[in-house]
Amino acid sequence: MNKSELIAKVAHDTKLTRGEAEEVVEATIENIISALRGGDDVRLMGFGVFTVTRRKSGEARNPKTGKIIKMPASKRARFKPGKLLKEAVNS
């Protein structure tokens, strides 16, 4: 399911117009991103937790050339599925 399909499904399930459903989906995504940028975790009970983790700088090897390159420290978004989501997927 892509974003457009999600918007259509939200519109159908909630009886919202497609435009209203798009606003809801966009606002949800923007608020999750904003919270993560601010250093907060986003916990959706039963669904999962979005967090930001830090990656240390280090060295890596380019598999094509074999050359060692420096990798800068960075942050990345992580998602850990909740119990209800795990159970739903595995049932």
pLDDT at position 90 = 96
The boundaries of the domain holding residue 60 are 41-91
pLDDT at position 57 = 95
Domain with 75 in it: what CATH number? 4.10.520.10
Report the distance separating Cα 75 and Cα 36, nearest Å: 10
pLDDT at position 37 = 97
User: Do 33 and 77 share a structural domain?
Assistant: no
- Classified as helix, coil or strand, 18 is helix
| Residue range 30-49, pLDDT digits in tens | 999 999 999 999 999 999 99
Q: Which residues in the chain show pLDDT less than 70? A: none
Q: Tell me the C-alpha to C-alpha distance, in Å, between residue 32 and each of 13, 35, 38, 70.
A: 22, 5, 10, 31
User: Do 49 and 12 share a structural domain?
Assistant: no
pTM above 0.75, yes or no: yes
- Contact, 17 vs 11, CB < 8 A? yes
- The mean of the pLDDT values for the chain is 97
